[in-house]
Amino acid sequence: MRFRVERQHPHAGGIKVLHEIPHITPCLLEGPNGIGKTLAVHLLELVAGGQPYLADPQLWASLKASLGPTTVTIDNLADDRSLVVELDPDRWPDVVGEPLGDRLGVARLDGAEVPASTAAKLLSVVRIAGTETPAETVKRSMSATRARLVAASAAVEPRIAAVRAAMGGLRDVLRDLDPAQAAQLRERQRKAQERVAAAAHAAEETTRRRHKLDEALEARAVLSAREEDRRELEQRLKTVENDLKAARADQARLGREADEAREQLVRGGVIAEQLASAEKTLQGRLRRLSNREEEAEEALAQVGTPENLEGELRRVVAELASARSHRADLDTGERAERVVGQFLAAIDLARRGGLADDQVLLNIDGRAVTVEQLADLLRARAIELAERPIPGAVERLDAGVSELEERRRLLQTAKERVDARERQRVLVDEQRAEVSRLRSQLGPDVQERLQKLLADLGTADQRVLELAREAVNLRTLLADRELASRPDAQAAMDRLLPELAIAIDDLDEAAASAQREDEVAETALATARRDLNSIEHDLRVAALAAERAVEELQSRRDLLALTGMQNGDGQLDAVAVERLAAAVHAVDGRLDDAANGLAALAEAAGALAAGQLGGGRLFAEPFVAAAGEQLRADLDTPAIRQVLFDDRPLRELDLRARVLRWTDADGDRRERPLDAFSTGEQAFAFTQARIRELEPPAERDRLLVLDEFGAYVSADRMRHLAEFLQEDEVRAIASQVLVILPLQVNYANELGETRGQLRQRYQARVDQLQRQGYITVPLSELV
């Protein structure tokens, strides 16, 4: 490719740009400082979609301000194409780091306008600076690795998802299977079965022991029996039977008494109700008595509370009659008034009864007086009499009579109220008597008595039971004594005690203990059986799930094809589907591992790139080892060995310790810190390593620029580098290589000292310098 850079204003902004890189590869470019060699390369990097100013925002700002419109022409691209890009810095982003994309400027490919970002698809520009340190190489190498892993991871993710999706059908069929759980259950079943067997065995043992102890107790009983004992037993039995009879009688009596008390309680209930009612009535009567007393007191107070009320009343009534009579005597007019009134009343009555008004009633001195006339006369007279003035004595007597009438009335009221009070008192007394009678009928607390009777009855029952039991025991003993023989009992005892490993004195305790142990063993056995049942139930459920899965799977040829399993021939059964479920789970795990593995590796690479080599992170150790090994391998080339390691193989690159190790010709182990390599050595070794990292560009051209090497690489290393750059390995990753050096020689001065081919070369260089200010020649001239 041929690259040309033309600025609209070549000298503006105080910067210069190299204006041509010829179509030579590999090409050596020598020139003095300040002619814009690196700037030209950076511009090409920008055109090719890179951003060389990522770490230099200030330089970017300066470039943007100073460059001005610039045209970059690239000829001899693949397929003989030509690209012209007119850079427009005014459109470039202020913030470095954003991809330029189409804001680069205006582009034309073979004359036709295309988006400026097209250039990135056609051209790659890689610049390697000789000022780089090994640490930066490691960092970049790790960054590149990380990028590859991230890309691979991103590409792999949808594919993993596709595989999982393909597993979807199987998962559905196997959804209820949990092989891990089934395996666990089977293990638990086995253990539970063992426990049941052990518990059954233990229960059997304890039962056997208990039976032996019972037998020993029996034998002891026989041995301890004597003839005297028998009589004693019989006597005892008789006593017990008598006691039992008495106890039964007692029991019956208490029973009867309790029944009576119950009845009384019931009756008492009725009387209690009556008593409550009577008390209520008494309360009412007392209230009314209180009212009556109050009324009587009030009435008596009004009449002055005489000692003998009746007497007083009688006296007032008599006095009143006397006063009235006296008055009547005093006031004849009153009599006349009365008579007239009576006559008038009789006439009116007769008139109403049909007596005619014109009926003659009287003849007075020949004058006939009719009914009506007589009535009128009588009426007039009544009025006269009524209007007559009452004599003073009569008036006074009237007043007295009024008073007496008033007093009589009050006395009468008082008497009535006193009578009412007395009547109420009687009622109250009657009611009190009734309440008293009912209370006496209720008697002492029947409930309490009943409780006591019941308690006594319980005791009596218990006694009867015990006595009955004792009687039975005694009868049994007596019966046994008739049948059991002493020698047999002794033999049994002699056999049993050693078997039981106890002394005869410990027999009772051992029997009690054995009873308890037997119960515990039975309980343990029941528990163990329950556990086993539960586990077996779970296993049955799991087996059912497996059977169902088998059925489903049998109908799914597509899934069977996936698994490689056959239907029929008994190959597809519950065991097989369980294995299949485990396999699905395993595949899932592997897919996870793969995805996570890539991600974790990418992360480890990123950490390494950032200089964080700390352990503990997943894959940190092997990654560091592998990265170190890769870099070692990259450095372990004949050329590098020869110049750096005494032509010996490089044993190890320890990234953690940052040392290189090799064994020298004398067999001694050598090591040197990475940072201790001279810059010249670094440049050579690491440049090679970096170049090897490059990916081949996909059907694009790539310009590989080695810049600023001159200060660091000695002449012989330069030759090795030049040889390396011409190898097929490098050709595969870059269609054009450019090595930029400062002027190595004062060619004009040296011209006179050279002859032949070298002189020709120098001359050509002098010419170039004069013409364009820098030299561009094939790199092979160095070799």
Minimum CB separation from other proteins for residue 716, in Å? 25
Please give the C-alpha separations between residue 321 and each of 324, 405, 406, 586, in angstroms, as whole numbers: 5, 10, 14, 136
- Distance in angstroms (rounded) separating the CA atoms of residues 624 and 614: 10
642 three-class SS = helix
DSSP 98: B
Minimum CB separation from other proteins for residue 618, in Å? 7
Q: Are the C-beta atoms of 619 and 170 separated by less than 8 Å?
A: no
Burial class (CB in 10 A: 0-12, 13-18, 19+), 310: exposed
Minimum CB separation from other proteins for residue 602, in Å? 9
Minimum CB separation from other proteins for residue 162, in Å? 4
- The values of phi and psi at residue 271, to 5°, are -65, -40
Minimum CB separation from other proteins for residue 693, in Å? 6
Residue 477 vs 600, nearer CB to other proteins: 600
Residue 75 vs 629, nearer CB to other proteins: 629
DSSP 358: T
347-367 per-residue burial string, b: 16 or more CB within 10 A, e: under 16: beeeeeeeeeeeeeeeeeeee
Minimum CB separation from other proteins for residue 708, in Å? 8
Residue 382 vs 721, nearer CB to other proteins: 721
Task: Return all residues near 201 (Cβ < 8 A) that are at least 6 apart.
Answer: none
Minimum CB separation from other proteins for residue 54, in Å? 6
441-450 per-residue burial string, b: 16 or more CB within 10 A, e: under 16: ebeeebeebb
Reported residue count of the chain is 783
Strands of the sheet with 669-673, listed across from one edge: 650-654, 659-663, 669-673
Q: Are the C-beta atoms of 691 and 721 separated by less than 8 Å?
A: no
Minimum CB separation from other proteins for residue 2, in Å? 21
Residue 542 vs 584, nearer CB to other proteins: 584
Task: Return all residues near 481 (Cβ < 8 A) that are at least 6 apart.
Answer: 222, 225, 230, 233
Q: Are the C-beta atoms of 687 and 130 separated by less than 8 Å?
A: yes
DSSP 8: S
Minimum CB separation from other proteins for residue 594, in Å? 4
- Distance in angstroms (rounded) separating the CA atoms of residues 174 and 168: 10
Which runs of consecutive H residues, i.e. helices, occur in 570-706?
A: 574-609, 620-635, 638-644, 679-693
Residue 137 vs 424, nearer CB to other proteins: 137
Residue 97 vs 458, nearer CB to other proteins: 97
Peptide bond into 26 cis (omega under 30): yes
Long-range contact set of residues 536-541: C-beta below 8 Å, sequence gap at least 24:
536/189, 538/185, 539/182, 539/185, 539/186, 539/189
Residue 74 vs 401, nearer CB to other proteins: 74
Residue 514 vs 613, nearer CB to other proteins: 613
Minimum CB separation from other proteins for residue 23, in Å? 22
Minimum CB separation from other proteins for residue 10, in Å? 22
420-438 per-residue burial string, b: 16 or more CB within 10 A, e: under 16: bbeebeebbeebeebbeeb
Residue 217 vs 618, nearer CB to other proteins: 618
Minimum CB separation from other proteins for residue 718, in Å? 20
Minimum CB separation from other proteins for residue 662, in Å? 20
Residue 153 vs 251, nearer CB to other proteins: 153
- Distance in angstroms (rounded) separating the CA atoms of residues 783 and 777: 12
Q: Are the C-beta atoms of 331 and 391 separated by less than 8 Å?
A: yes
Minimum CB separation from other proteins for residue 559, in Å? 10
State the number of CA atoms in the 13 A half-sphere of 386 facing the CB. Answer: 8
Residue 428 vs 602, nearer CB to other proteins: 602
Vertex 416 angle, CA 415 and 420, to 5° = 115
Minimum CB separation from other proteins for residue 155, in Å? 5
Residue 698 vs 715, nearer CB to other proteins: 698
Residue 339 vs 562, nearer CB to other proteins: 562
First to last CA, the chain: 22
Amino acid identity at 78: A
Task: Return all residues near 194 (Cβ < 8 A) that are at least 6 apart.
Answer: none
Bin 107: left if φ > 0, else alpha if -120 < ψ < 50, else beta. beta
Residue 129 vs 330, nearer CB to other proteins: 129
Residue 638 vs 696, nearer CB to other proteins: 696
